[in-house]
Amino acid sequence: MLSLAHATICRITIIALALIAPRLIAQEPAPPEEAGLKVLILGDSLALCGFGKRLDERFRESPLTKATVTYLACGTNPLSWLKERPYTNVKTNCGYVSIESIGNGMVKQVEDVYGMRRGHSPGSHPVPKLEDLLANFQPDILVVQTGTNLFGLFPDHKTVIPNRHGPLLRSYLAPFIAKAVKSPSRLKKIYWVASPTSGRVSKEIQDFVVQQTRADIGGIAHVIDSRTLVSYPYRQMEPDKEHFLGEEMDQWADGVFDIVNRDLSAQPIASLKPLSGAEPAATEPAQTEPTPAGPTQAAVLQPTPTPPPPAEKPKDKMLHVRAKLISKTAPVPVEEFLPYREFLVGYLYEVTRVLAGEYTENQILVMHPAYIGLREQKLRYKIGKNYRLKLHDLESTVWKTVKSKDDSGLINLQPYIRLQDEKKHPDYAR
């Protein structure tokens, strides 16, 4: 299994990475203390494929920048970087990189990714927390590359239900932004880098995620639609049709840097005021249909008024039903969800009796772990057999953005997960 991982994800970019240990790298002396901005970069698995390292380099070379720190953690979503449950102690198990300025022109770098040496699989690393990074590093600029893992909120990979998915996405975005600008944060600018084109989900979903992001946090963050910066299909694309390698990663990072650099260069650095406690100014209404274009077109989506409050968090209610299994979804090959280590499949049941809790539908969709830590799970459920199922709403658990597949076609059904399976997640808060 490890050789498969070695052969698939980010195999070109990571060849140059060193052993799993901090190392010191010489760089040009930093600008005088009174000059330049401090930049914090956060990214997910796409950033581990070359984007994060390239973007870090561009900021370090910029005369506008005084210091840069970068943290890249595979499998993360916006909430993964916060101390709030269920992500308080979340760890990444599929790849981690940190690049930190430590003064005197030196950088400390920690790298643990697939393929660093033959057969290597990453270890477990705590995801750094935004609250600590803001307090300790005191950045002026925050660049967040995220969004790919939020596609997991759309089980059939095709369909959007706005009144359901809108509040759900907001529950990931608004808490992060609220924490980022909370006093005494000195952040002056936030750049939100939405995902490049994914071949795994429909254009409708990708459009919706960008539009919803702009509507919810565009009043504070500059939202960058990465689909305008690099064209799909990618020349060096992985089997999941989402991760890619090589020159296009550099092209994407350069495009993002150019947007940020132009924005920062358009005004005196001294004129930038902290976002903390400030009301963002209303601007032009957001477009309703962002159109992916060539790499030369502008990619910053203009800010909008203050975002609405996050959706109320799902209540922790248990549902207990007796149900008959009527259909099963087969898992995909491992290479199609690498570098991630967990994968869910949808099983459809006919509800014969509600034993506890409230449920009004005749059928119920239950997501079962097909892989945990890349280990195939034995799902011994038989079609036509009755089962007693104690369930939680999937969206109230840490499993909610795990890669999944559901062939039932019943997108109206809210997905559930067995309580026993919920506790098997590596980051379950016990």
Burial 12-43 (b: 16+ CB within 10 A, else e): ebbeebeebeeeeeeeeebeeeeebbbbbbbb
Q: Are residues 206 and 345 in the same domain?
A: no
Q: For residue 147, is it within any domain?
A: yes
The tally of CA atoms less than 13 A away on the side-chain side of residue 371 is: 22
Q: Are residues 262 and 384 in the same domain?
A: no
Q: Are residues 202 and 349 in the same domain?
A: no
Summarised one tens digit per residue, pLDDT across range 96-134 is 999 998 777 788 999 998 877 777 888 889 999 999 999
Look at residue 353 and tell me whether its pLDDT is greater than 80.
yes
Q: For residue 129, is it within any domain?
A: yes
Q: Considering its fold, how many domains does the chain have in total?
A: 2
Q: Are residues 334 and 257 in the same domain?
A: no
Lowest model confidence (mean pLDDT) among 292-296, 326-330, 334-338: 292-296
In the prediction, which pLDDT does 429 show? 63
Q: Are residues 398 and 283 in the same domain?
A: no
Here the CATH number for the domain that contains residue 361 is: 2.40.50
Q: Are residues 257 and 357 in the same domain?
A: no
Look at residue 26 and tell me whether its pLDDT is greater than 50.
no
Q: For residue 429, is it within any domain?
A: no
Q: What average pLDDT score do residues 203-209 get?
A: 97
Summarised one tens digit per residue, pLDDT across range 385-430 is 999 999 999 888 888 888 888 888 787 788 999 999 999 988 776 5
Look at residue 306 and tell me whether its pLDDT is greater than 50.
no
Q: Which pTM was predicted? A: 0.75
Q: Are residues 9 and 67 in the same domain?
A: yes
On average, the pLDDT of the chain sits at 83
More confidently predicted of 380 and 3: 380
pLDDT band of residue 316 (cuts 50, 70, 90) is: low
In the prediction, which pLDDT does 280 show? 41
More confidently predicted of 248 and 427: 248
In the prediction, which pLDDT does 151 show? 92
Instruction: Give the domain extent around 68.
Output: 2-301
Q: Are residues 337 and 250 in the same domain?
A: no
Separation CA 417–CA 392 (nearest Å) = 6
Classify burial at 211, counting beta carbons within 10 Å of its beta carbon; exposed 0-12, middle 13-18, buried 19 or more.
Answer: buried
Q: For residue 313, is it within any domain?
A: no
Q: Are residues 273 and 417 in the same domain?
A: no
